[in-house]
């Protein structure tokens, strides 16, 4: 798996491969397993299906590394439309949204954002947080590669002044994350803990799977021992059982924490946990910018790669 991860992450950044993959309809059979559609209506239908199975959701309008102000505004508009449709169908209470700050303008050049990318992303995020509150739900700010961690946490601090319900995301493979967990494990703080899906250097991240797992458990314990609301994003059966054991140790009842999994991965396990009384939330991405997301999922689960490659090659 570690041997394949590097080449897969290279594919995620390769524009020629991206152009090939995104213009071939054959890839839709692969994409549909992870992304329910490109339109707002399609993702809202997927949210309704999850709710029928007793699952909460968090929805991500795909896109990142935006370098045009107009594209950042289009992302804001997409989230506002999504939240309006969720509210109209009575789905907002169990369906929050996840946003990436680089999709909202964090990395905009000065020519596109005279006031600076930080200010643009903050104001755009505020617009989405306001729309979420009006709809009866909330926002979680996704974490991206390590070069944006400090900027993301800075925007989060600003957002929480007016929208204290805004969730954070921390990645266990980063060496700094245990300390970040301690800083964020306070009352009212919602924190999603994931392992991390970007290709990071060993200087800032654990690269060995066992080291990442150990870090995840350490960070989990910090969050469970704190006064916040841990959101444990993992598909690993062993991590799930450890989490349930740690919850018991800290006398946390179901509902004082939650599990999260990606759309299309271990759906029966998602329903099983929900049926057993655990709070289970599904991360649902949608939109046309699915390529980078899909390749990161393949990097996490390289056994899916062979089907994807066969789909491309057989229909050239």
Identify the CA nearest to 293 among candidates 282, 281, 284: 284
Q: Tell me which of 60, 126, 142, 190 is the catalytic residue.
A: 142
Q: Which of 142-170 are b and which e, b meaning 16 or more Cβ less than 10 Å from the residue's Cβ? A: bbbbbebbebbbebbebbbeebebbbbbb
- Enter the tokens of residue 298: 């393949």
Secondary structure of residue 76 in the 3-state scheme: helix
Identify the CA nearest to 169 among candidates 154, 153, 148, 151: 153
User: Annotated catalytic, 192?
Assistant: yes
Q: What is the DSSP letter of 152?
A: H
User: For residue 192, what are the β-bridge partners?
Assistant: 169, 231
Contacts within 8 Å (CB) and 24+ apart, 81-84: 81/40, 82/40, 82/43, 82/44, 83/128, 83/131, 83/132, 83/134, 83/135, 83/137, 84/131, 84/135
Phi/psi of residue 224, nearest 5 degrees = -65, -35
Phi/psi of residue 141, nearest 5 degrees = -90, 110
Beta strand pairing call for 95-99 and 168-171: unpaired
User: Cα 306 to chain center, whole Å?
Assistant: 25
User: Cα 71 to chain center, whole Å?
Assistant: 20
What is the number of residues in the chain? Answer: 316
Beta strand pairing call for 95-99 and 258-262: unpaired
How wide is the angle at C-alpha 53 spanned by C-alphas 51 and 55, nearest 5°? 55
For residues 118 and 159, what is the distance between their CA atoms, to the nearest angstrom? 12
User: Annotated catalytic, 142?
Assistant: yes
How wide is the angle at C-alpha 264 spanned by C-alphas 258 and 88, nearest 5°? 70
Q: Tell me which of 126, 190, 192, 281 is the catalytic residue.
A: 192
Would you name the residues annotated as active-site residues?
142, 192
């Amino acid at each position: 798996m570690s041997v394949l991860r590097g080449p897969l992450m290279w594919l995620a950044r390769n524009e020629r491969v991206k152009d090939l993959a995104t213009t071939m309809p054959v890839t839709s059979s692969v994409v549909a397993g992870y992304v329910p559609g490109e339109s707002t209506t399609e993702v809202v239908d997927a949210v309704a299906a999850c709710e029928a199975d007793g699952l909460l959701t968090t929805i991500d309008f795909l896109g990142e590394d935006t370098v045009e102000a107009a594209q950042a505004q289009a992302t804001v508009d997409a989230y506002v439309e999504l939240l309006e449709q969720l509210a109209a169908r009575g789905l907002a209470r169990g369906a929050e949204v996840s946003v990436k700050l680089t999709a909202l303008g964090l990395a905009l050049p000065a020519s596109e954002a005279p006031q600076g990318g930080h200010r643009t992303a903050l104001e755009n995020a505020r617009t989405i947080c306001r729309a979420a509150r009006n709809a009866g739900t909330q926002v979680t700010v996704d974490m991206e590669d390590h070069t944006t961690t400090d900027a993301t946490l800075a925007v989060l601090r600003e957002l929480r002044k007016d929208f204290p319900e805004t969730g954070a995301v921390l990645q266990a493979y980063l060496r700094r994350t245990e300390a970040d967990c301690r800083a964020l494990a306070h009352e009212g703080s919602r924190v999603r803990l994931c392992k991390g899906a970007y290709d990071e250097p060993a200087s800032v991240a654990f690269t060995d799977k066992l080291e990442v797992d150990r870090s995840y458990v350490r960070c989990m314990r910090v969050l469970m021992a704190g006064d916040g609301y841990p959101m444990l994003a993992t598909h690993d059966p062993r991590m799930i059982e450890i989490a349930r054991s740690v919850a018991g140790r800290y006398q946390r009842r179901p509902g004082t924490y939650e599990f999260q999994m990606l759309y299309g991965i271990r759906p029966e396990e998602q329903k099983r946990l929900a049926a057993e009384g655990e709070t289970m939330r599904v991360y649902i991405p949608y939109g046309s910018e699915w390529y980078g997301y899909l390749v990161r999922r393949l990097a996490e689960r390289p056994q899916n790669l062979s089907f994807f490659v066969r789909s491309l090659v057989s229909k050239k």
